[in-house]
Amino acid sequence: MNNFQRVGSISNAHIGRDFEEAAHVYFTAQGYQIIKDVALPIGLERKKNHRFDLGTPSYAEGKIIIECKSHRWTSGDNVPSAKLTVWNEAMYYFHLAPADYLKIFFILRDYSNKRNETLGEYYIRTYGHLIPSDVEILEYDEDHQTVRVL
């Protein structure tokens, strides 16, 4: 049996929740009125609610939706292909989301010495054609608790 749980973690679900909490803290500190689990109707012909990790409540002035991903390179600094498929899915949801929302993809900074780039930089370089032009990608450095726009 393969174990794809991150070393030193209770579970991958805990990692995701902890990362969403770090994002919530960051955006709140920036002055945004952010809540967790924001549902918006998205779709092509028919609409169905999709729950984004974070966003503004419906009564807020500025409309924002945020998807959070804390994925890392695999052991050996290999590409986590299955994880990047999830990133592509997030880009599709952003594409289908209402145009009047600011769309933020909040990702963990994970640097590969082997590749000399972060996972976010790699994603933009190889999958940039799938990223909608109205999506901002923010990379969170958990060691320094800083954010940079990619």
pLDDT, tens digit (0-9, with 9 covering 90-100), for 34-65:
999 999 999 999 999 999 999 998 878 889 99
Q: Coil, strand, or helix at residue 137?
A: strand
Tokens for 48? 């169905």
For residue 7, the 8-state DSSP code is: T
Contacts of 82 (CB under 8 A, 6+ apart): none
> What whole-number distance in Å separates Cα of residue 19 and Cα of residue 21?
5
Average pLDDT of the residues of the chain: 91
Indicate the fold that domain 16-149 takes in CATH. Answer: Trna Endonuclease; Chain: A, domain 1 (3.40.1350)
Strand partners, 108: 140
Mean pLDDT, rounded, for 109-131: 97
- Amino acid 5: pLDDT: 45
- Amino acid 104: pLDDT: 98
Instruction: Determine contact, residues 80/70, Cβ cutoff 8 Å.
Output: no
127-144 in b/e form (b: 16+ CB < 10 A) is eeebbeeebebbbbeeee
At which residue do the structure tokens 């933009």 appear? 124
Confidence of residue 21 (pLDDT cuts 50, 70, 90): very high
- Amino acid 1: pLDDT: 35
